[in-house]
Amino acid sequence: MKLTIRPIEISDTRALLAFANSLIAEDTFLMLSGKKLTLAQEKKYVRDAVARMKKNEKIHMIALDGDSIVGSADVRRGEKRKAHTGEAGIAVLPSYRGKGLGKQLMRVLIAEGKRMGLRLLMLHCFENNTVALALYKKLGFIECGVLPDAFTYRGQYVGDVTLYKKL
């Protein structure tokens, strides 16, 4: 699979909106849920993200197959006393799952976290997302706790697993 992975740009707004809305429609293991996002909401997100990237407060990478976004990954730097930490998240379209793209995106995030000068990378995962949990642990993330019933997912309450990796 030959994909391009690069930071987001303002010109990616419409493609990011289509990507996000397809994940919302799927109702997968992401915080994105409910109503579809609007172009205005996505424009604001992308503008803010690009500005934060310029300040070394965030990184947001996308995986492209041609002109289509098939994966997205970001790290958000913590604030104040947590400025040495970053919170990571990834999302991959269904037809690209199980092919190594998630692992590739997480490796990019780990490298970018180091480049940003972070000492600790954290992430949250739905307790029933066993595939993602296995991937994170394979990449050296350590589970440090579960907040029971923290997420609502398809009419049920699901635990929020917190994992971390020292960089």
How do the domains of the chain map onto residue ranges? 4-119
- Residue 152 has a CB neighbour count (10 Å cut-off) of 10
DSSP string, 145-165: EEEEEEEEETTEEEEEEEEEE
Q: What CATH homologous superfamily does 4-119 map to?
A: Gcn5-related N-acetyltransferase (GNAT) (3.40.630.30)
163: pLDDT strictly greater than 90? yes
39: pLDDT strictly greater than 80? yes
This prediction's pTM: 0.92
**Average pLDDT of the residues of the chain:** 95
Q: What's the average model confidence in pLDDT over 55-74?
A: 96
2: pLDDT strictly greater than 90? no
Q: What's the average model confidence in pLDDT over 26-34?
A: 85
Predicted confidence (pLDDT) per residue in 80-131, tens digit: 999 999 999 999 999 999 999 999 999 999 999 999 999 999 999 999 999 9
By three-state DSSP, how is residue 117 classified? coil
Residue type for position 27? D
The pLDDT of residue 48: 97
By three-state DSSP, how is residue 51 classified? helix
User: Which residue, among 151, 55, 58, 166, has the nearest Cα to 112 in the 3D structure?
Assistant: 58
88, two tokens: 């990571």
- 154 Cβ partners below 8 Å, 6+ apart? 27
The pLDDT of residue 113: 96
Residue 138 dihedral angles phi and psi, to the nearest 5°:
-60, -30
1: pLDDT strictly greater than 70? no
The structure tokens 């949990």 sit at 133
28: pLDDT strictly greater than 90? no
